[in-house]
Chain A
Amino acid sequence: MVPGRRRWRRVRQVSNGVVAAFVAAAILLLCGAGYAGLPALGPLLDPAHGAWASASGGQLPESQVLSLPGLTSTALVSFDANGIATINAASRPDAMAALGYLHARFRLTQMDLQRRLAEGRLAQLVGPAAVSSDEFELRLGLLRTARREWAAMPRTGAAATMLAAYARGVNDYLAQLHASGDWPALYSVAGVYPARWTPVDSLAVQGDLAQELDYTTSPLDYALLVRSLGIRRTMRWFPVVPGGTQRTYDPGPYKAQGIAPVTGVSTTAAPGRGSAGAAGGQPSGGQHPAGTGRQSPAAIALQSWAGTAGQLSAGVAGQASAAVARSAVTVLAVTSALPPGQVARDTAPGQVAGQTAAGSAWAANGPRVAGRGSILAGTAPLAGTVPSAWFQVAISAPRYDVTGISLPGLPGVVLGHNQHIAWSLSHAQDQSTLFYAERTSRARPGQYFWRGRWRAMRLVRYAIPVRGGQTRHLAVDLTVHGPVLTDAGQAISVDWTGSTGSPDIAALARIGAAASFTQFRAALAGWRSPAQTFVYADDRGNIGAIAAGDYPIVRHGAPWLPLPGTGADDVAGAIPFAALPQSYDPPGHVIATAGQRPVTAAYPYYIGTTASDLDPAGWASNQYAVLGRRSGLQPAGFAALQARSADQIAARLVPRLLAALHRATLTPAERQAAGVLRGWNHVLDAQSAAAAIWSTFWPDYLSATFGPWWKAAAVPVQPDPAGLAFSAGQFGLVQALEHWTLADPSNPAFTPPGGPARTAASVMRVAFGAAVARLHALLGGAPSSWTWGRLRGTTTASLPRVPVLGASATAVGPTAVGPTAASTVTASTVAAGTVAAGPVTAGAGAGAPWTVAAGYTLPAGTANQGWRMIVWLPAASGRQGIEAEGIYPGGQSEDPASPWYDNLIARWASGGYLPMPPVGATALGRIRWELRP
């Protein structure tokens, strides 16, 4: 070969080698380490490891002996055919360790996401999309509270031992995963794995639950409404006390009993929350000086809920200054951008009354119940998801024999029954969140003015690791009230009852061991957050209810608006436990709660406005009416009531609507639509034409009434549509409109600004015409052929509620008209008890790269309850006589590949139940784990 060609050939060979080496290195690097958010594909897709290893989580457990170093003695776990677990342990800590192991085995992703959410570590797993959530949480301070709470907790106390044992159980499972590599797919895909579980993590999850149920931004909404609509109109339309006639469960008489100190840990700048009353120079430590504000409770109440517009002073109006409004917009924009459910957003428009995330609970006794015992029925707080946020379990240990539902991440059973009592939860009306407009100065950066002098804010810094991005840094300023949420225009801080922590673990442990209402009530004495109504029934035929929680009372000002932060309007204390709304063995033998205002207008303390009254439709009132007419009830009767989704507002307003249409000139379609409504039983059934007409008319009626006012006042809806737009989700407006329609049809609100005079009847006619025209355009055909199911389905979201994890598209499902997706569960499949359809993948294709699981679209009208339970306690029966049944959507496992992922959804959707494992039972199921230390 000639030398030139040989040289050229050599060059080609070397070039080929270099390029081959470069490509090989690039592929190995890509597969081994990933690049720019792309995970390391080699380890990820390695068939025997990586994401494929998660397939083992899709298998049903087998009977086996497991070694759990976290135990002190052998415990037994058994599973029935549906996956419901029963734990038998020799001690309560061992039972909690077994529960921790069980939770981790079936709900590790849920637990880890919850703690990441609470501790501001979601972006570490999810990436930049979760940075705003992390910033919000770190600013609010669930992690600060959890750390302080754990540091202050006596290590030998019940709560600490339960938390420590639970963490040991979780970590035993994590150790097994580390050894096997069988991580849930999410972790393999992300390449980020869960850290060891600590008691602080459980307390953070508890804080997260409190936030979901109790943290609201309604004072900021009020500030913007006052700025745009004016204070008088705002307080007429969003009053403190509703104008309707809601049925309370605590009708009084009431006795003012002073103000109790606010207890709990302090995470604020010294001197701590609740110590604003440190007028006496009391040091902080979070302890409020006993007692007593300078004003009487009656005076505070008078100031606080001077709900009639005429009594509101210019000073109160000043609480909604332009600067405050600007800051409110900033804070609301951040909060409303959070995923659904991360904070208490009340209910979404169109949700079925009484079946909201607020939960409901009612109890009956005496002649109302067969056998003269008592029955308790409840739907747990938190909306239905797949799988449910709750985890059903029965635990049998010395002094702790309980069956019910637990929350993965927390030790213990949250609601259920033991051998003597049963209890359930529902929303309690309580304004747990107060906002303060801090006085600051550009000349004094890092300081705020409080009680006559400038004070330094406490600065806390955080680093937020971001998967696939640079670590973000966050600085949080703390005042005496709490963290500063924004300093745009006006520094706004938030004082939230959840920031003081709450001894919930210990309280639930005591409830689990309680045998009487006295013990039950005593167990709740220290409960601070989230404020919840605990409904009770026992085997001696007693029933009761207590709205336990921390109800802050301010010294001055209108707490439903942002308060001046200079000290005069600080929290003086809380409503004493003895004065909280409560009831015991009422003469009517019925207690019904559904998030309604629990007390009458005569109650001497402020507990929030209609914004935190979650029963605008009067569902509880309906239960009172229905149960009050019945006797000898058994669980089947309660089940029918629990599944019934009649619209109570429709029941009251449809007759008025028909009366308004009676003399009107109607089109043929309108006449037919009115005829359809005439025979309606007000049940929101998927096949109901009347339900379609009503559910279209009602928002149109709201819009026709309030729309012109909103437009004229240029209400800034955008920062928080849920809290600022007129909708069926605005409980103040709903109650006001219903009240005016029934009792004040000539209310000036019906007449638009600058427009001709209108009445309720004339507005209803306009709205009805618009609704029929819209339905005709959407559905076509005769009104009798329209069905509600074509307008609205109920989607049970996948459990992770982070948008990038696939929940944003599934909150309440399709409002589009037309046939739903192929994977929709049809009414017939549900009725047949089979759900043939697969999960609706949420987010895939919608820019949601980390969608984990899936939701299910169910027939319209399906009550989206996260847990339904009925417990019948025949009088003096003992444990054998208690009949308890409950169910939630999905199943025990969070793994979509598991047969226990969705095995209960068909039964749940069709209104069915499963018998709850009895208390004290041993090894009921055929699958058994022997857990050895």
Chain B
Amino acid sequence: MSRLVSRSEVDRMGKRGSYRLGGLGPLGPGPGRPSRPFRPSFVRPEHPGTTVGWILAAVIGAVMIAGGSVLGLWFMPFVVGLATGLAMRWGGWRLRVSVPAVVIMAAAGWGLALWVPALRGLPLGATARTIAVTAGLPAITVLAFCAALAVSVALGLAGLWLGRALTPRPARD
């Protein structure tokens, strides 16, 4: 495809600093390739393992959080978040995927731990209302559930941040 020479380029001819080797053309690093539509990349090209493997790892993380709750390890979302933060450097995961992953793992983990007793017939809804009222909140069932999931997510994200901070990206020379 022929390229049109703009009027401004013609005007610059003969003036100081206007000559370049080669033909007339725009300033800058030469002709670029046609722009592509933005497609976010969730992993760096060099990441190890398969995507399925990573999803499986996330499921295991959620189960670990749920299991930790059963064992009384309330801080397990933090541990899983921390592990994710440490692994994301090695795995080449970007923040835009590791944050949602930790949020989902933390919420699903504690959500699972809440769901199982409900399946056994425990009155979780009424208990949630009692907890809310006891804590001085309005007697709305969903409040206690949201509070629980929010704590889990906060713990997970704090762990993620710390894990990421502990494994800084090496500087490129």
- Identify the closest chain A residue to B132 (Cβ): A844
- Identify the closest chain A residue to B173 (Cβ): A1
Interface residues on A, range: 35 or more
Give bound CA distance, A31 to B152, whole Å.
10
Across-interface contacts of A845 in B (CB, < 8 A): 138
Across-interface contacts of A841 in B (CB, < 8 A): 133, 138-139
> B55 contacts the other chain (Cβ, under 8 Å)?
no
Interface residues of A in 11-53 (CB under 8 A from B): 13, 16-17, 19-21, 23-24, 27-28, 31-32, 39, 41-43, 45-52
Interface residues of B in 148-164 (CB under 8 A from A): 148, 151-152, 154-155, 158-159, 161-162, 164
- Identify the closest chain A residue to B69 (Cβ): A48
Do B127 and A852 have beta carbons less than 8 Å apart?
A: no
Do A9 and B155 have beta carbons less than 8 Å apart?
A: no
> B172 contacts the other chain (Cβ, under 8 Å)?
yes
Known contacts A17-B165, A28-B75: A48-B113 contact under CB 8 Å: yes
Least CB distance from B20 to A in Å reads 28
What would 7 A/B residue contacts be, using CB atoms closer than 8 Å? A1-B171, A20-B161, A20-B165, A23-B162, A24-B159, A189-B131, A852-B134
Q: Which of A49, A58, A806 contacts B122 (CB 8 A)?
A: A58
Known contacts A49-B69, A844-B138: A896-B130 contact under CB 8 Å: yes
Give bound CA distance, A31 to B75, whole Å.
8
Give bound CA distance, A58 to B128, whole Å.
11
Do B158 and A896 have beta carbons less than 8 Å apart?
A: no
Known contacts A43-B74, A45-B148, A48-B72: A24-B162 contact under CB 8 Å: yes
Do B172 and A52 have beta carbons less than 8 Å apart?
A: no
Give bound CA distance, A895 to B127, whole Å.
9
Do B117 and A52 have beta carbons less than 8 Å apart?
A: yes
> A174 contacts the other chain (Cβ, under 8 Å)?
no
Residue-wise interface mask of A (355-377) relative to B, using a CB-CB cutoff of 8 A (1 in contact, 0 not): 00000000000000000000000
> A6 contacts the other chain (Cβ, under 8 Å)?
yes
Across-interface contacts of A897 in B (CB, < 8 A): 123, 126-127, 129-130
Do B123 and A55 have beta carbons less than 8 Å apart?
A: yes
Across-interface contacts of B129 in A (CB, < 8 A): 896-897
Q: Which of B121, B147, B162, B164 contacts A59 (CB 8 A)?
A: B121
- Identify the closest chain A residue to B149 (Cβ): A45
Give bound CA distance, A272 to B99, whole Å.
72
> B137 contacts the other chain (Cβ, under 8 Å)?
yes
- Identify the closest chain B residue to A189 (Cβ): B134
Do B74 and A55 have beta carbons less than 8 Å apart?
A: no
Residue-wise interface mask of B (132-146) relative to A, using a CB-CB cutoff of 8 A (1 in contact, 0 not): 011111110000100
Interface residues of A in 51-78 (CB under 8 A from B): 51-52, 54-56, 58-59
Do A59 and B78 have beta carbons less than 8 Å apart?
A: no
Known contacts A59-B121, A59-B123, A189-B135: A49-B114 contact under CB 8 Å: no
> B124 contacts the other chain (Cβ, under 8 Å)?
yes
> A216 contacts the other chain (Cβ, under 8 Å)?
no
Q: Which of A19, A39, A47, A844 contacts B139 (CB 8 A)?
A: A844
Least CB distance from A52 to B in Å reads 6
Least CB distance from B109 to A in Å reads 9
Across-interface contacts of A186 in B (CB, < 8 A): 134
Give bound CA distance, A13 to B170, whole Å.
10
> A584 contacts the other chain (Cβ, under 8 Å)?
no
Extra contacts besides A17-B168, A58-B123, A844-B138 (7): CB < 8 Å:
A24-B78, A41-B151, A45-B147, A52-B148, A55-B122, A185-B130, A853-B133
- The secondary structure that dominates the A interface is helix
> B13 contacts the other chain (Cβ, under 8 Å)?
no
Across-interface contacts of B173 in A (CB, < 8 A): 1
| A interface residues with partner B (beta carbon < 8 Å) | 1, 6, 9-10, 13, 16-17, 19-21, 23-24, 27-28, 31-32, 39, 41-43, 45-52, 54-56, 58-59, 181, 185-186, 189, 806, 839, 841, 844-845, 848-854, 895-898
> B24 contacts the other chain (Cβ, under 8 Å)?
no
Q: Which of A9, A20, A23, A31 contacts B151 (CB 8 A)?
A: A31
Known contacts A24-B159, A41-B151: A54-B130 contact under CB 8 Å: yes
Do B127 and A58 have beta carbons less than 8 Å apart?
A: yes
Least CB distance from A906 to B in Å reads 18
Q: Which of B72, B131, B134, B158 contacts A52 (CB 8 A)?
A: B131
Across-interface contacts of B126 in A (CB, < 8 A): 55, 58, 896-897
Give bound CA distance, A139 to B151, whole Å.
42
| B interface residues with partner A (beta carbon < 8 Å) | 66, 69-70, 72, 74-75, 78, 110, 113-114, 117, 121-124, 126-127, 129-131, 133-139, 144, 147-148, 151-152, 154-155, 158-159, 161-162, 164-166, 168, 171-173
Do A24 and B158 have beta carbons less than 8 Å apart?
A: yes
- Identify the closest chain B residue to A49 (Cβ): B72
Across-interface contacts of B162 in A (CB, < 8 A): 20-21, 23-24
Do A52 and B127 have beta carbons less than 8 Å apart?
A: yes
Q: Which of A16, A46, A844, A895 contacts B133 (CB 8 A)?
A: A844
Across-interface contacts of B136 in A (CB, < 8 A): 844, 848-851
Give bound CA distance, A849 to B138, whole Å.
10
Q: Which of A1, A55, A854 contacts B117 (CB 8 A)?
A: A55
Least CB distance from A727 to B in Å reads 32
- Identify the closest chain A residue to B110 (Cβ): A47
Least CB distance from A926 to B in Å reads 18
- Identify the closest chain B residue to A12 (Cβ): B168
Least CB distance from A310 to B in Å reads 57
Known contacts A6-B171, A189-B135, A848-B136: A24-B161 contact under CB 8 Å: yes
Across-interface contacts of B133 in A (CB, < 8 A): 806, 841, 844, 851-854
Least CB distance from B44 to A in Å reads 19
Give bound CA distance, A260 to B23, whole Å.
127
Across-interface contacts of B66 in A (CB, < 8 A): 47
Give bound CA distance, A43 to B135, whole Å.
14
Do B114 and A47 have beta carbons less than 8 Å apart?
A: yes
Q: Which of A10, A27, A896 contacts B154 (CB 8 A)?
A: A27
Least CB distance from A508 to B in Å reads 33
Least CB distance from A132 to B in Å reads 20
Across-interface contacts of B72 in A (CB, < 8 A): 46, 48-49, 181
Do B151 and A42 have beta carbons less than 8 Å apart?
A: yes
Do B168 and A13 have beta carbons less than 8 Å apart?
A: yes
Give bound CA distance, A45 to B111, whole Å.
11
**Top 5 closest A-B pairs, CB basis?**
A849-B136, A897-B126, A47-B113, A20-B165, A42-B74
Do A17 and B69 have beta carbons less than 8 Å apart?
A: no
- Identify the closest chain B residue to A852 (Cβ): B134
Least CB distance from A61 to B in Å reads 13
Least CB distance from B142 to A in Å reads 14
Least CB distance from A822 to B in Å reads 12
Interface centre among B72, B172, B173 (most CB of A within 10 A): B72
Across-interface contacts of B147 in A (CB, < 8 A): 41, 45
Known contacts A23-B161, A49-B74, A849-B136: A55-B166 contact under CB 8 Å: no
Give bound CA distance, A181 to B72, whole Å.
10
Q: Which of B127, B148, B155 contacts A55 (CB 8 A)?
A: B127
Across-interface contacts of A850 in B (CB, < 8 A): 134, 136
Do A51 and B165 have beta carbons less than 8 Å apart?
A: no
Do A16 and B165 have beta carbons less than 8 Å apart?
A: yes
Across-interface contacts of B166 in A (CB, < 8 A): 17, 20
Known contacts A47-B110, A844-B138: A31-B155 contact under CB 8 Å: yes
Across-interface contacts of B74 in A (CB, < 8 A): 31-32, 42-43, 45-46, 49-50
Least CB distance from B48 to A in Å reads 23
Across-interface contacts of B122 in A (CB, < 8 A): 55-56, 58-59
Give bound CA distance, A845 to B143, whole Å.
14
Give bound CA distance, A370 to B5, whole Å.
120
